[in-house]
Amino acid sequence: MDKTTDEYRSRHYPIQEDMRAQRVEWVLQRSGNWLLYVIVVIALLGGFSDGWLSETSKANAQGTLTVEYQRFLRSESDEPFTLRIKGEPDKPVTVRLAGDFMDKFVIQTLRPQPLVTHSSTHEISLTFPATKTGEHAVWLMTQPQTAGLFTSQIALEGADAVTLKQWVYP
Amino acid sequence: MESVLRAAGMYVLLLIVLKIAGRRTLLEMNSFDFVLLLIISEATQQALLGNDFSLTGAAITIITLIVLDILFSYLKNTIPRLDLIIDGSPLILVENGKLLEKRMRRSGISEEDILSSARTSQGIERLDQIKFAILEKNGKIAVIPAEKQES
């Protein structure tokens, strides 16, 4: 007991110690270690994009459009979106990308290429050629340009929009 | 604007992470620490500059880092309390040949580390030849040998 308290007493020779500050530092270091462990675990689970916590999909009310996307994104890194569309057979489909999508993302790649592209002030409409089954998929690779909470709408013409809320880390 | 924020953010982040890792990390560079340093600098470089390949971008980043360094050392000199928080205070680990075990355990320093420092700096062979071993602010262990008549 005596020795315990003695070790935590500040010495004055040969140097001036400050054991109170030292003990605070140790406590902060230990809790800091835990903080670092937690960050690694969250990153493994996908809390900072790319993982179980982050990957999700959302469909519109009619079930004709399903968007596969990430809840968490990172600014200036490549982030994928996949649109799966169940349209009518032998009819072209038009997809509208609106909200923050066009203003805050840069589309790196877009597969397949649309037949026609229309734009208005904050949105773009892409028309894809008809398929026999009416099923389509669009693969987008995008890059968020800033950080923050992004709200985008992706809609199939003639159906409800899918609203995506995404958090973008700096 | 972004370059300045990136540089400042990275500086503070590294400061905090290295502070959490403790002084032991920078104590002595073995090959593993060297690899770690290389990888950390590589990871940092991308976040600091991003896609900016311009001379201006690099200049802004470098100047921001130097300014932060100047500011921190100025603040540390004017506010001793801040110096204590950022750099800590030196810590005695061996007192008159006796190990202060609790302090050593909490700082992550083993008897072997102290003896190794004692051998390299003072040519000391045994623990009882050490009067004081002090963990300095920069992570090095200073060893003060016991006087001849004592040993």
Among B127, B79, B130, B128, smallest CA distance to A14 is for: B130
Residue A142: band (very low, low, confident or very high) from pLDDT cuts 50, 70, 90: very high
Tell me how far CA of residue A67 lies from CA of A80, A89, A140, B73, B146, in angstroms.
11, 20, 11, 51, 74
Q: Which of residues B64, B87, B110 is at a domain's end? A: B87
- Measure in Å the smallest separation between the Cα of A88 and chain B Cα atoms: 43
pLDDT in the model for residue B27: 57
The helix-helix angle for B2-21 and B31-49 (nearest 10°) equals 160
Residue A66: band (very low, low, confident or very high) from pLDDT cuts 50, 70, 90: very high
Question: What single-letter amino acid sits at B60?
Answer: I
Q: Out of A11, A33, A76, name the one closest to residue B50 (CB).
A: A76
Task: Say whether both B120 and B68 belong to one domain.
Answer: no
Task: Say whether both B130 and B105 belong to one domain.
Answer: yes
pLDDT in the model for residue B78: 93
| pLDDT tops 80 at residue B9 | yes
Over the Cα atoms of chain B, what is R_g? Answer: 20
For B55-70, what is the mean pLDDT? 94
Q: What is the CATH number of the domain that holds B131?
A: 3.30.240.20
Residue A67: band (very low, low, confident or very high) from pLDDT cuts 50, 70, 90: very high
- Distinct helix (H) and strand (E) counts, chain B: 6, 4
- Measure in Å the smallest separation between the Cα of B70 and chain A Cα atoms: 24
Residue B64: band (very low, low, confident or very high) from pLDDT cuts 50, 70, 90: very high
Pairwise CA distance, residues A67 & A83, whole Å: 5
With CB atoms and an 8 Å threshold, state whether A11 touches B92. yes
| pLDDT tops 90 at residue B19 | no
Pairwise CA distance, residues A92 & B28, whole Å: 67
Pairwise CA distance, residues B114 & B23, whole Å: 14
Task: Say whether both B21 and B76 belong to one domain.
Answer: yes
Q: Find the chain B residues whose C-beta atoms sit closer than 8 A to any C-beta of A.
A: 9, 16-17, 19-20, 22, 50-51, 84-85, 88-92, 95, 100-103, 106-107, 132, 134, 144
Task: Say whether both B58 and B121 belong to one domain.
Answer: no
Structural domain harbouring B80: 2-87
Task: Say whether both B47 and B75 belong to one domain.
Answer: yes
For A60-75, what is the mean pLDDT? 93
Task: Say whether both B66 and B95 belong to one domain.
Answer: no
Q: Out of A7, A14, A36, name the one closest to residue B103 (CB).
A: A7
Task: Say whether both B77 and B6 belong to one domain.
Answer: yes
| pLDDT tops 70 at residue B91 | yes
Task: Say whether both B74 and B19 belong to one domain.
Answer: yes
| Among chain B residues, CA nearest to A8 | B103
| Among chain A residues, CA nearest to B99 | A7
Q: Is the ipTM of this complex over 0.95?
A: no
| pLDDT tops 50 at residue B151 | no
Task: Say whether both B28 and B83 belong to one domain.
Answer: yes
| Among chain A residues, CA nearest to B51 | A76
pLDDT in the model for residue B28: 64
Interval A30-56: pLDDT, tens: 999 999 999 999 999 999 988 999 999
Which of A121-135, B19-33, B62-76, B95-109 is least confident?
B19-33
Looking at every residue in chain A, the average pLDDT score rounds to 91
For B49-73, what is the mean pLDDT? 91
Q: Find the chain A residues whose C-beta atoms sit closer than 8 A to any C-beta of B.
A: 4, 7-8, 11, 14-18, 21-22, 25-26, 28-29, 32-33, 35-36, 76, 170
Task: Say whether both B19 and B81 belong to one domain.
Answer: yes
Share of chain A above pLDDT 90, in %: 75
Task: Say whether both B97 and B138 belong to one domain.
Answer: yes
| pLDDT tops 60 at residue B149 | no
For A74-97, what is the mean pLDDT? 93
| pLDDT tops 90 at residue B109 | no
| pLDDT tops 90 at residue B141 | no
Task: Say whether both B62 and B20 belong to one domain.
Answer: yes
**Tokens coding A105:** 């993302």
Q: Out of B88, B90, B102, name the one closest to residue A25 (CB).
A: B88
Residue A1: band (very low, low, confident or very high) from pLDDT cuts 50, 70, 90: very low
Which of A35-44, A63-72, B9-18 is least confident?
B9-18
Contact residues, chain B, for A11 at CB < 8 Å? 92, 95
For A76-86, what is the mean pLDDT? 93
Domain count, chain B: 2
